[in-house]
Structure 1
Amino acid sequence: MKKLLAITLGILTAIGGFVDIGDIVSTSEAGSRFGLAHTWVLIVGVIGICVYAEMAGRVTVVSTRPVFDLIRERLGPRAALVNLLGSYLITLLTLAAEIGGVALALQLISGAPYLLWVPAVALVLWLALWRVRFETLERIFGLGGLALVILVVGIFWLHPPFDTLRAQTISTSPPPGENWPTYWFLAVALFASAMTPYEVFFFSSGGVEERWTPRDLTLSRINVFLGFPLGGLLAFGFLATSAIVFHPLQVSVDTLGQAVLPAGLAFGQVGLGLIILGVFAATFGAAMETSLSAGYAVAQYFGWSWGKALRPRQAARFHTVVLISILLAVAALLSTIDPIQLTEYMLIFSAVVLPLTYLPILIIANDRGYLGDRVNGPFANTLGVVYLVVVAAAAVAAIPLMVMTGMGG
């Protein structure tokens, strides 16, 4: 039972990575505008994050050290500092978007403006990270996010024309009224949403927090190969139901209220309540991941004491970084920037910096000095190199596509 419950680390990481507020709206927008034409991107993203996280998890389990600590030691402080700055800024933007996402979910429930909820969400987030056990948070929000499975069921409940959906999936061109630059812009955004660096830093550091050892290598892989595909399946629920409901009407989705509407159409008020619960749990879980990941990265780089299990007096600088990150995220939101638009920018910039965070993991996963005979085998290396090319291509294309399409407009 203990091993079974430990799998919730992977579930929380996957749900927080695939189904945060930006991903919900991005997949829903892609579905409403292009039908199921981006299904292949989700599949590529799921495989990619499994490759990425499996290497990071293996590095952590075998060395019993977190990834960022090893990156600094292996690549040197200067190269690791570039990695740190890029990943921290992306994580901070993501944290702001996730807090905004929780506030938007509460707005759907209460009707009160989301900005009124932002300070309260930030306070509850800090108290939860400070006072609630790591395992408890994993299980509550990881399993709570599974309420999003209602959209996967809704795909069949809405009785769609499956022949049309199949044709959209294998289509080789954008539908009428859309263009290739926008198609590829959304493809890059969806791929980046699956491969965000904070997922791997959180997963790696969470394994250290739970005291994984080389004997837990199988557990780490179960977390990866069960959790992340599950997150991809939940994201597909938003993509598919949006394609079923909005694409035939040529209505573009750009709000959270629209993204959750298909659940209400399929199952009424019960479905709407469940999907909002799932969105709340997923976005709050993602907010926990990102705030902790910000502290993990900074503390591990500088060699400070770190860990959620440590009291603030035992890891004062780690907890200070987490608190400051939350406050900076709140300040960004109170500037009235749209949290969904903020996340769309985050996804593009995440694609830009992804090679800086992916390449060091690939290098360490091939270093026998750290992993001994647990280094990448031929198959893992082939996949690792293929995805290095993919993430590099996405990084090169991200900014030009953003400019050409006006953020996908």
Structure 2
Amino acid sequence: MKKLFAVALGILTAIGGFVDIGDLVTNAVVGARYGMGLAWVVVAGIIGICVYADMSGRVAAVSGRATFEIIRERLGPRTGLANLSASFLINLLTLTAEIGGIALALQLASGVAPGMWIPVAAFAVWIVIWRTKFSIMENVAGLLGLCLIVFAVALFLLGPDWGTLGDQAIRPWSAGSPDLSYWYYAVALFGAAMTPYEVFFFSSGAVEEGWTKKDLGTERLNVFVGFPLGGLLSLSIAGCAAVVLLPLGVDVTSLSQLVMPVAEAGGRLALAFVIVGILAATFGAALETTLSSGYTLAQFFGWSWGKFRRPRQAARFHLSMIICLLVGIGVLATGVDPVMVTEVSVVFSAVALPLTYYPILVVANDPEYMGDKVNGRVRNGFAVVFLVVIMVAALAAIPLMILTGMGS
């Protein structure tokens, strides 16, 4: 039972990272446009995030310090500041999207316009971070997020032609050469899978939990169960859209369209489950991104940080999170579409990936911090391959966004 609850950190990170508002929308969009033709990107994202999250968690467990704290010390303040600037701005953009996602989920449940729910969502995130223990937060949000399994159940109930779906996944270009929009969404999916805040939250959460070398088994369990689970849910979302929305020519622009396949397959009960799952996933992601905002700033500037410390003991850490939530409310108060904010955030996440993951690779190979737990040849081989992929995605993201008009 103890090991079952130990994996909750990975489940929360996976549900709030792989299946946040960005992944929900992007997978539904690509499923409705390309069927399972971009499943290979999700698989690549699963492997990539597992490689780097494992390094990040191992660094925290071995050194007892969060990744961002060591990055500044190991690579110097200039490189650390570049990493901080890119990661923090992307994190803030993602936090804004997640608050909007909570509001959209509450709109699905109540029929009340999302504008009314935005301040409620932000206040709820703040009160949970302020008053709730880390272990309770991760267990409740992660386990409720598992309601999104209803997408996998719905996919089976829809009775698809599995041969067709498999052919789309295995031979994505069998119908002809992919257009630029295809590659734009490939980059967006990859950015959504490897969003920087995931590793910052994961390593900082390991410090919050007090992991040591004895907990490396728990760390691997979190990574290699939690993240693949999130990836399987992502593929199920795309599959549902491919079966129901693709034949109808539906262009997904809202959460109501996203849940159509689930409602068609399982009726009101399934719809209730999916709404709970979406609310939990977006709320979990909002918790992660809010905490990650405080973590990155506090760790870079050397402030006292952590949920295990009272607000008066880590005042700047908690104040920075409040300010980030207020900024998110302010942006959404302009009337900007949360779905549009989400699409922009995943693309810019891809741009920031090298600044996040290269320093992690450097630290994971430094015996001063890692001792005998430095990366081996196999780990380094995978990490270098994915670092090249990350750099290609980062370089291609903005040009593809401009040339395709954000995939339109």
TM-score with structure 1 setting the length: 0.98
Note the C-alpha offset of 1:22. Answer: 1.5
Note the C-alpha offset of 1:171. Answer: 2.7
**1:23-66: per-residue Cα shift (whole Å, max 9, x none)?**
10100000000000011001000000000100001111110100
Contact 2:60 2:67 in 1 (8 A): yes
Contact 1:24 1:238 in 2 (8 A): yes
Contact 2:21 2:101 in 1 (8 A): yes
Aligned counterpart, 1:238: 237
Distance 1:217 1:282 in 2: 26
Aligned counterpart, 2:67: 67
Alignment of 1:246-261 (within 5 A): 246-261=245-260
Corresponding letter in the other structure for 1:387: F
Is 1:143 matched up with 2:143? yes
Secondary structure (helix, strand or coil) at the match of 2:356 reads: helix
Aligned counterpart, 2:347: 348
Corresponding letter in the other structure for 2:311: P
Secondary structure (helix, strand or coil) at the match of 2:259 reads: helix
Distance 1:167 1:55 in 2: 34
Distance 1:44 1:332 in 2: 32
Alignment of 1:245-394 (within 5 A): 245-394=244-393
Note the C-alpha offset of 1:175. Answer: 5.3
Note the C-alpha offset of 1:281. Answer: 0.2
Distance 2:218 2:19 in 1: 23
Corresponding letter in the other structure for 2:156: F
**1:118-155: per-residue Cα shift (whole Å, max 9, x none)?**
00111111111100111111111100000000111111
Distance 1:289 1:175 in 2: 40
Aligned counterpart, 1:89: 89
Corresponding letter in the other structure for 1:102: I
Corresponding letter in the other structure for 1:203: F
Distance 2:268 2:69 in 1: 48
Aligned counterpart, 2:5: 5
Contact 1:174 1:183 in 2 (8 A): no
Contact 1:34 1:174 in 2 (8 A): no
Note the C-alpha offset of 1:179. Answer: 4.8
Is 1:171 matched up with 2:171? yes
Corresponding letter in the other structure for 2:63: S
Note the C-alpha offset of 1:188. Answer: 0.4
Corresponding letter in the other structure for 2:298: A
Corresponding letter in the other structure for 1:220: E
Contact 2:62 2:370 in 1 (8 A): yes
Stretches of structure 2 lacking an aligned partner (at least 5 in a row)? none
* Distance change in 2, residues 1:172/1:147 (3 Å): closer
Corresponding letter in the other structure for 2:29: E
Note the C-alpha offset of 1:165. Answer: 1.2
Distance 1:20 1:334 in 2: 21
**1:344-380: per-residue Cα shift (whole Å, max 9, x none)?**
1111111111100100000011111110111110100
Aligned counterpart, 1:26: 26
**1:59-115: per-residue Cα shift (whole Å, max 9, x none)?**
111101000110000000111001001000000000000000000000011111101
Secondary structure (helix, strand or coil) at the match of 1:346 reads: helix
Give structure 1 regions of 4+ aligned residues with deviation exceeding 4 angstroms.
none
Distance 2:124 2:59 in 1: 33
**1:253-287: per-residue Cα shift (whole Å, max 9, x none)?**
12111111111111000000100100000000000
Secondary structure (helix, strand or coil) at the match of 1:246 reads: helix
Contact 2:184 2:407 in 1 (8 A): yes
Corresponding letter in the other structure for 1:4: L
Stretches of structure 1 lacking an aligned partner (at least 5 in a row)? none
Distance 2:193 2:21 in 1: 13
Contact 2:38 2:172 in 1 (8 A): no
Distance 1:185 1:133 in 2: 40
Secondary structure (helix, strand or coil) at the match of 2:123 reads: helix
Secondary structure (helix, strand or coil) at the match of 2:403 reads: helix
Aligned counterpart, 2:49: 49
Contact 2:8 2:139 in 1 (8 A): yes
* Distance change in 2, residues 1:348/1:174 (3 Å): farther
Alignment of 1:33-44 (within 5 A): 33-44=33-44
* Distance change in 2, residues 1:32/1:134 (3 Å): same
Aligned counterpart, 1:404: 403
Note the C-alpha offset of 1:334. Answer: 0.6
Aligned counterpart, 1:209: 208
Distance 1:246 1:6 in 2: 38
Taking only aligned residues, the RMSD between alpha carbons, in angstroms, comes to 1.1
Identity percentage of aligned residues = 55
Note the C-alpha offset of 1:174. Answer: 7.5
Corresponding letter in the other structure for 1:37: G
Note the C-alpha offset of 1:170. Answer: 2.3
